[in-house]
Amino acid sequence: MTKRKGYHHGNLQVGLVAAGLELVRKNGASALTTRACAQWNGVSSSAVFRHFRDRRALLRAVAAEGFAMLARTTAIDDPALTRQDRLLAIGGAYLRFAIEEPNLFRLMYGADAQDTADPDPDPDPDPDFEVAADPLLAQTAFAAGAEGDMSDARTLLAWSIVHGLAMLTLDNQLEGLVPSDPRERAERLEAILVHALPLFADADTGERRG
C-alpha cells in the first residue's frame, strides 16, 4: 500500500479512515490494523489513538463510510417511479454494491462492526455509524409501502430479500445458479428480485404486478 503524507493535524482522522477503507477493500477486514493505517499516513502508531480509542473504533468508522457510500449508491430521486420500481432500483443498486465491494460489504454487516456482538461495547459509540445506515432503511420502508416505518414487516421483508440474495452470492451459495461475471451476476439477481415485487404491490394505485 502506498504511503501517503499530509494527513497530519485536523486531516489525520480522515486519512486514517481512508487508509482503513483501502485496506479493507483490497484485503478484507483482517488487514485493517492501526499500525498499517498509521504507516499509510506517515505517522506513528500512537497518533492513531488521538482520534480512535482502539482498532475497533477505527473499523466502525470505516464501516460507517461504507454505509454512506451505499446510501449514495442507492439514493433514488425520481418521484415518477412506482413504489415497486423504486424498490427494484434500490435493491438492484444494493446488490451491485455487494458484488463490487464484497470485503467492505462484509465488514459493514459483520460482527466486528456491530455493538451486539461486543462483550465490551464502546462506552462512547460513534453516532456516525448508527446514522449512516438510516437513509437506506428509510428509503426501503418508503418503497415497500411502510410509510417510512423502518420496523414495519414490509420493510424488514424487502431488506431481507435483497440482503439475503447478496449474502448468498458472496458466500458462493448460488454457484452454478448465477453467472460468475460480476455484471451478468448483478443482472441475474435483479431479474430474481423482480419476482418479489408483487409482494409490495399497492392495489389502490394499480402498480404493475408480477
49-107 pLDDT, tens per residue?
999 999 999 999 999 999 999 989 998 878 888 888 999 999 999 999 999 999 999 99
The pTM score is: 0.83
For 167-183, the pLDDT digits (tens) are 999 999 998 899 999 99
Cβ atoms 200, 145 nearer than 8 A = yes
Specify whether the CB–CB gap between 29 and 58 falls below 8 A: no
End-to-end CA distance of the chain: 48
- DSSP code, position 184: H
Is the CB of residue 192 less than 8 Å from the CB of residue 165? yes
φ/ψ of residue 178, rounded to 5: -130, 155
Give the type of residue at 145.
G
Is 162 in a helix, a strand, or coil? helix
